[in-house]
Amino acid sequence: MVITFHPPYEGHFNDTLELIFYDLRQKERFSIIRQISAIVGSPQDHETLKSKGPFARKKWNQLPLPIIIDRRPPTWTKTQWRVRLPLFDVPKDLIDHAFGVKNRRKSVRINHLPAVFSENSHGKWFQVLAYIEEEQRRLVWFHPIVHLAD
């Protein structure tokens, strides 16, 4: 099989070669797919870009630097909290709508979420979702058998 490439201009070309065959014994088609690429240039460009000599790896000069031993990074140490934040109870009516009624999503959407999600209402929107997530995590933490799927 001979494949000939005639580029319209010089440059870098990428394409996919797909060969489709038919197996007479098994009576089924199969294909072989390969990515092909070509760089086309003039003979003058080829001579200009040709290497000047054999490849030689760059020599590594390791400078004798002093090793500075520092204390552990802050991300590896335990966080020392200065003040404990007060507990915040999620609004009771939101919890009742999110976990106490039959059609939870609709109830929360109608009673608690803003009608339109916009730059002015996104804070309220995500606040409601954070409250529901916090209560769901609390329920699963204290009652691991609870299933909260709708």
Identity of residue 122: H
Q: Please give the single-letter amino acid code of residue 62.
A: Q
* Angle formed by the axes of helices 92-99 and 104-111, nearest 10°: 150
User: What confidence score (pLDDT) does residue 118 get?
Assistant: 92
pLDDT band per the 50, 70, 90 thresholds, residue 1: confident
List the chain domain ranges: 92-142
In angstroms, the Cα distances linking 67 to 40, 83, 113 are 51, 37, 57
- CA distance linking residue 14 with residue 19, whole number of Å: 16
The pLDDT tens digits for 59-86 are: 877 777 777 777 766 677 777 788 887 8
Per-residue pLDDT tens over the stretch 91-144: 889 988 988 888 888 999 999 999 999 999 999 999 999 999 888 888 777 665
Global pTM value: 0.40
